[in-house]
Amino acid sequence: MDIIKQDLKKCLTEKLLKYALELANCLPVRAIMVYADVFQDEDKLKNYVEKLDNTRLVLVSRENLKIPDPAKIDFIKVPHIKLTRLGQMKIAVLVGVSKGIFHPQDIILCLSGIAESGVLDSLFIIDIGSEFEFFEVNQLEHLHEVVRPEVFLRVLEIAIDLAVEGREGKPIGTTFIIGDSEKVLEYCEQLILNPFKGYDETERNILDPRLEETIKEFASLDGAFVIRGDGVIETAGAFIRAGGVVVDIPPGLGTRHRSAAAITAITKAVAITVSESTGTVMVFYGGKIIMEIERPLIFGALKPEEGKTFSLREEIK
């Protein structure tokens, strides 16, 4: 029985890959986007590249992949969190738009499946313009000018870790404001002495994995982190003075979320919040919520596989 199942799955993967090529030839698709973590060996994808004519291949992975043929293939890294197949691809599309790989009017053909399963089991089409609010995606095209995509993804990962694990068994909330930091700092005042003051820039970059624990520790301080677009942490424990700014966010959200929305409305920064009360991680840009990742109801040190879920704002409206 298992052998038959394996054959079926193998056959399905082959057929989906082939069918995607056929569709790409008759539909105006910008790219075929494949969740590469499905495959353990690279050969399947290498052979696939040879069959592509004018369609680009975009590989999506949670790891840094070595791309064999960058002229034909793009790479998008997504955070290490368990997402639905559509959720994973939607994050990839957002990152892709922010990196200039995709544009708001593009149609993307997506192939996905369970990581490391070796089996592609889903084919779907994302029409960026209708899947996301056009305004948001349009704005995202400029995000890479203020925030490096790897910095954005790293902060998102840390935020989700904080939401899921908390600190010393307790839920924790915090705010990260990334990019346009000179302007952001004009609206900030320190609630405590800046704990990053006096350290060389090379010693306070959020991309440095050695800083992870320190950042998680400082996340329990009142106030926000201000981070430069290249990942250098300017400060923590900063109070955002953006009280009078009108923002378009749901009424139930408190001052942490309002101030995060407000600072992104009056600067080019992006903000990521972790809610202490609900564990929800939100991404703000242009004064609006552009992404929402919900923590599972039971609080505790859950592993990524056990329960991080994802939804975009328009999915929960």
Ligand X SMILES: Nc1ncnc2c1ncn2[C@@H]1O[C@H](COP(=O)(O)OP(=O)(O)OP(=O)(O)O)[C@@H](O)[C@H]1O
Q: Cα 98 to chain center, whole Å?
A: 11
Which of 26, 22, 21, 25 has its CA nearest to residue 34? Answer: 21
Q: Does 143 bind ligand X (CB under 6 A)?
A: no
Cα–Cα–Cα angle for 234, 239, 245, rounded to 5 degrees? 110
Q: Binding string, 160-199, against ligand X, x = CB under 6 A? A: -------------x-x------------------------
Q: Report the alpha-carbon angle 57-58-62, nearest 5.
A: 145
Q: If binding is defined by CB under 6 A, does position 299 make contact with ligand X?
A: no
Q: Per-residue string for binding with ligand X, 271-290, x by CB under 6 A?
A: ----xxxx------------
3 state DSSP class of 52: coil
Rounded least distance, CB 151 to ligand X, Å: 20
Q: Which stretch binds ligand X (CB under 6 A): 43-51, 160-168, 196-204, 217-225?
A: 217-225
Closest CA to 238 of 291, 196, 285, 204: 196
Give min distance, CB of 173 to ligand X, in A. Answer: 3
CB of 253 to ligand X, least distance (A): 5
Dig out the tokens for 296 from the structure.
Answer: 């599972």
What is the number of the residue whose Cβ is closest to ligand X? 254
Beta strands 233-240 and 224-227 are: antiparallel
Q: Is 192 helix (H, G, I), strand (E, B) or coil?
A: coil
| 223 forms part of the interface with ligand X (CB under 6 A) | yes
Cα distance between residue 260 and residue 268, in whole Å: 12
Q: Does 266 bind ligand X (CB under 6 A)?
A: no
Only one of the segments 95-103, 155-163, 255-263, 303-311 lies at the binding site for ligand X (rule: CB under 6 A); that segment is 255-263
267-270-65-307 Cα dihedral, nearest 10 degrees: 180
Is 227 near ligand X (CB under 6 A)?
A: no
**Does 224 sit near ligand X (CB under 6 A)?**
yes
Q: Which residues bind ligand X (CB under 6 A)?
A: 173, 175, 222-224, 239-240, 253-257, 259, 275-278
